[in-house]
Amino acid sequence: MTVHTLEDERLTAKADDSTGNIIEAKGIKTYFPIRGGVFRRTIGHVKAVDNVDIFIKKGETLGIVGESGSGKTTFGRTLLRLLTPTDGQIVFNGHDITYLSKSEMRKHRRHMQMVFQDPYASLNQRMRIGELIEEPMYTHNMYKKSERKERVKYLLETVGLPMEATRKFPHEFSGGQRQRIGIARSLAINPQLVIADEPVSALDVSVQSQVLNLMSDLQEEFNLTYLFIAHDLSVVKHISDRIGVMYLGKMMELSPKKDLYVNPLHPYTKALLSSIPKPNPKAKKERIVLKGDIPNPSNPPSGCVFRTRCPEAYKRCKEVVPAFVEVERDHFVACHLYHKSEEKVK
Amino acid sequence: MSDALLEVKDLKTYFFVEDKIIKSVDGVNFTIKNGETVAIVGESGSGKSITSLSIMGLVPKPNGKIVEGSIKFSGDELVGLPEKKMNKIRGNDIAMIFQEPMTSLNPVFTIGNQITEALLHHQNLKKSEAKKRAVELLKLVGFARAEQIIHEYPHQLSGGMRQRVMIAMAMSCDPKLLIADEPTTALDVTIQAQILELMRDVKKKFNSSILLITHDLGVVAEMADRVLVMYGGQVVEETSVDEIFEKPKHPYTSGLLASIPKIEEERKRLEQIPGTVPSADNFPRGCRFAPRCSKVMPRCTDAPPDLLKVEPDHKVRCYLYELS
């Protein structure tokens, strides 16, 4: 692996501007071994992420929705290279980062940051807010000491917290305020890509909208690209430009957000959309209630992973894994119902 | 009102911690009629869960205490009832479903054991009869292999399955009132849809009343007949479910409704309520929502408003609707 100097990093970054994609992932597989038996040998794999392709354009928000166990968090962590994929390729700003070592990864990680779900657990409770926000700049050796202090103040102001906060500890803040601190911290080193994993699901409803609005404002101000991972479809719809739907480690559908809600194709997406309780007592209640639970990812069903709960499953679904195909412009789906070229359907 | 199953009057549940008094529930009034589903909506710290625990007689001791008020269930006073008598009602006439199906089942007993416990305690059934009833109940909540499930342990079941076990347990003695505290919050949406449907079915079958505690307005719209909105330990608005979504009156309710992203709407900025929920040991002097309210008036910060009937079936705690 050649080590890029800062100079050629800049050059390739420039050259890559043509595609407009900040990150591209092809055929990502992240498997976790299951060990067992007397010698703790690997006896199987949990296929947390199984063959997912995705790209994120600069400046857009890609939302990933899925239920627990769908692999959305693992996928986010793999893109950040907090986990090394079992197979596939991740290209970030024109650089293949799939197998970079920790130290090689460091200079790229400057450009990607994460906002975590639990604002109570993700901040070190023994550090003052000022130190917490300064830490990433210190780690990445950015700015002079005085500049760092200035920047901490600027960031606090940007996320709407008072200056006095620098001297305080995390326990003195509410959940929403802590999430603001988490966001300020992730922005400290001026990243291009922010991966937000369920950033608002631990917050109260009235606070949730504050944080969502803040995230939209910051996106404009700092020209950020977001990967927004959540289980709440209404929230994802609100913030995203495009949405991917994951189920049991696979991407089932990916489309511009409007398409996904007006014209959902995959039976899973349809069921998911119809499952959301609408805050309107007079709304029509035509509900597709899925039977059963999400299967165990260490032993997924053959063929299409959704077939065990799918109301429209037929013979082919059991035998062949559906390909992830673009059936309309920018609208991808992995379902046999829409692959018209292969075999006549229905 | 003769058909009132539960009447809560001026309930005050305080916690005494060190030298502080935390007024978790501060003067709550409501009634639940037979067969009615009443939802209490509120954010964390609004007192909605403590209200339900007060009804169940499960306020954490020794710090928590019902300091005032009355809770009448089918005409009988529950506040101050000796533990022995309360045990006869709890799990029998009033049952509760908790939020965390993971932690509210005992991990070292089988599902069968835990369901039959209430039956043996309350209904004087023989062991074999109780077991038969447990299987029936599990089938009712949608377990196909109920005979096996009763021999399994909670860790062998998924979150949705555990919540269904909880519902089976709660329904085991045909309770007249079912208290569901955030019954679907820990579950995925597709599983949530299953559980809500199940609760509706079960309610129809047993004609029980439900007190639903939730922060999810979508769930409220779907399940409730009447809605109480709680803020800072008090009810700030009470009306029918249609009214609350169509004509919310309290600025907090309308703010809450406007701040949730709706799936059918296009992206625009969300309305936001500034600030955070006040802590229960230090409420503002006047209206508890005043510091966050967009329509705050001078008098709001002086004295607290009362919960007043402004329309035949609509109560609001706000000076905006007080004719003066």
Q: What is the pLDDT of residue B264?
A: 78
| Chain B residues within 8 angstroms (CB to CB) of chain A | 43-44, 158-161, 188-194, 196-197, 215-222, 241-242, 245, 255-257, 259-264, 266-267, 269-274, 276-277
The string over A226-241, giving b where at least 16 C-beta atoms fall within 10 Å of a residue's C-beta and e elsewhere, is bbbbbbbbbbbbbbbb
Q: Nearest-CA residue of chain B relative to A217?
A: B269
Backbone angles phi, psi at B122, to 5 degrees: -100, -30
Residue A312 CB burial class (10 angstroms; 0-12, 13-18, ≥19): middle
For A90, phi and psi rounded to 5 degrees? -120, 125
Pairwise CA distance, residues B35 & A306, whole Å: 38
Alpha helices in chain B (DSSP H): 48-56, 83-89, 111-123, 127-140, 146-149, 159-171, 189-206, 217-223, 241-246, 251-259
pLDDT at residue A344, as a whole number: 45
Smallest CA-to-CA distance from B119 within B134, B99, B105, B141 is with B134
Q: Which residues of B touch A233 (CB under 8 A)?
A: 189, 263
The nearest CA of chain B is from the CA of A268 a distance in Å of 10
Q: pTM score, two decimals?
A: 0.85
Report the C-alpha gap between A141 and A139 in whole angstroms: 5
Q: DSSP of A73-97, one letter per residue? A: HHHHHHHTTSS--SEEEEEETTEE-
Please state, rounded to an integer, the average pLDDT across all residues of chain A.
Answer: 87
Amino acid at B63: N
Interface contact B197-A289, CB threshold 8 A: yes
Cα gap B274→B252, rounded to integer Å: 11
Please tell me whether residue B156 adopts helix, strand or coil conformation: helix
pLDDT at B290: 93
Given this model, what pLDDT does residue A9 score? 46
Q: Are A110 and A191 in contact (CB under 8 A)?
A: yes
Q: pLDDT of chain B along its 324 residues, tens only?
A: 457 899 999 999 999 988 888 899 999 999 999 999 999 998 888 889 899 999 999 898 888 999 999 999 999 999 989 999 999 898 889 999 887 777 788 999 999 999 998 889 888 889 999 999 999 889 888 888 888 889 999 988 888 888 889 888 888 888 999 999 988 887 788 888 888 888 888 888 888 999 999 988 999 999 999 999 999 999 999 999 999 999 999 999 999 998 888 887 776 788 888 888 887 778 888 999 999 999 999 999 999 999 999 999 999 999 998 765
Residue A277: its pLDDT value, please? 86
Amino acid at site A58: K
What's the pLDDT at A341? Answer: 54
Confidence at residue A284, expressed as pLDDT on a 0 to 100 scale: 65
User: Does ipTM surpass 0.90 in this model?
Assistant: no
> For B252, which residue in chain A has the nearest alpha carbon?
A206
Q: B144: nearest CA in chain A? A: A292
Cβ distance of A204 and B215 shorter than 8 Å: yes
B155's tokens: 């860790």
The distance of A172 to chain B (nearest Cα, Å) reads: 12
- The size of chain B, in residues, is 324
Domains of chain A (ranges plus CATH)?
A: 21-111+192-206+217-338 (3.40.50.300)
Instruction: List residues in chain A touching B: CB distance below 8 A.
Output: 67-68, 174, 176-177, 204-210, 212-213, 216, 231, 233-235, 237-239, 257-258, 261, 271-283, 285, 287, 289-291, 293-294
pLDDT of residue A337: 92
Testing the interface with A: which of B149, B155, B190 to mutate, by most A Cβ within 10 A? B190
Which residues does A310 contact at the CB level (< 8 Å), separation at least 6? A267, A268, A304, A317
Count of CA atoms in the C-beta half-sphere (13 A) of A278? 16
3-state secondary structure of A241: coil
- The low-confidence residues of chain A, meaning pLDDT below 70, are 1-19, 284-285, 340-346
In the block, which residue shows the tokens 């407009």? A20
Q: Tell me what pLDDT residue A37 has.
A: 80
